[in-house]
Amino acid sequence: MKKKDQTLRGAEGFNDYYSQIYGDRWDKIKAAFVEENQSVEFKHPAAEKSYFLDSASVFAALNLPVKGAQAILDLCAAPGGKTLILASRMDSDARLSANERSSDRKFRLDTVVKTCLPEEINSRITVSCSDGSLWCTRQTECFDRILLDAPCSSERHVFQNPKYLNEWSKSRIKTVSMEQWALLSSAYRLLTIDGIMVYSTCALAPDENDRMIEKLYKKFNKDGDSFELLPSSVDITEIKDYVKMTCPSFEKTEYGYSIMPDVQNGAGPIYFSIIHKKKSVIS
């Protein structure tokens, strides 16, 4: 299998690889990719513009409880949809840091925050442009809530773009998963004791999803009491004034949850895991 994986390339390799994972379901997933994904409108009544995002993305962001939190971090925030969901729910005295490593995408994020939220909220948001994997070298255990919506393989976009599909290779997953681990281990160090983090991707590859959380266990939870995984818990009424949607259903995975487009009217894919930190990693 490993030898074959090394030669998987292009559209044929892409299909072979995901067929190995999803079996007969893969054809249904591809059919759902062709259809328009299930977007919903975020519209704050006091803001200038609306923003449209996948209902699965809304649901993933809702799984980060922000009530009572003072310091919130969206570590890979562009283009900004999940930032809006977090910001619209945070307490009036809370602050949100929204970071993006790409300067072009940071500009887009800054625009979304300023035009899709009222001044009272966006004045408490700091937008930055830096590599999130390096944040832990400057500070630790300083955010009580973190959303890490990590860069990923984004198979839906690959499938829809002939150029990306022809350039696809299995090595791309390995490269991306290395980036994800650097971000996840940094975010975990940034999380305060008793803090909560949501790790999410729009990937289908297990190496980018459950295997990331498995790696977190091996690194930080060897004794089994450093962190725990929380069940999904969403209160849709928190955003009833800004978003009109029906919550998609999710599937349980080994360490988290997934929302799959083939059974959720095109919503997703989204993977997310909810991590509650119980012990310090500072020695």
Q: Are 96 and 74 in contact (CB under 8 A)?
A: yes
Q: Which mean pLDDT values do the consecutive 10-residue runs of the chain (283 residues) have?
A: 64 96 98 88 97 97 98 98 98 98 97 98 98 97 98 96 95 96 98 98 98 97 92 95 94 98 95 97 75
Mapped onto helix, strand or coil, the DSSP state of residue 67 is coil
| Separation between Cα atoms, residue 215 and residue 58, nearest integer Å | 26
| Separation between Cα atoms, residue 191 and residue 72, nearest integer Å | 10
User: Residue written as tokens 């887009």?
Assistant: 108
User: Phi and psi for 18 in degrees, rounded to 5?
Assistant: -75, -20
Residues contacting residue 245 through CB under 8 Å, at least 6 positions apart:
40, 55, 58, 236
Q: Is 202 part of the annotated catalytic residue set?
A: yes
Which pLDDT score, from 0 to 100, does residue 155 have?
A: 97
| Separation between Cα atoms, residue 99 and residue 130, nearest integer Å | 7
| Separation between Cα atoms, residue 25 and residue 12, nearest integer Å | 17
Which pLDDT score, from 0 to 100, does residue 5 have?
A: 55
Dihedral sign of CA atoms 71, 73, 78, 80 in order = negative
Q: Select which of 129, 142, 202, 247 is catalytic.
A: 202
Which pLDDT score, from 0 to 100, does residue 23 have?
A: 98
Which pLDDT score, from 0 to 100, does residue 3 have?
A: 43
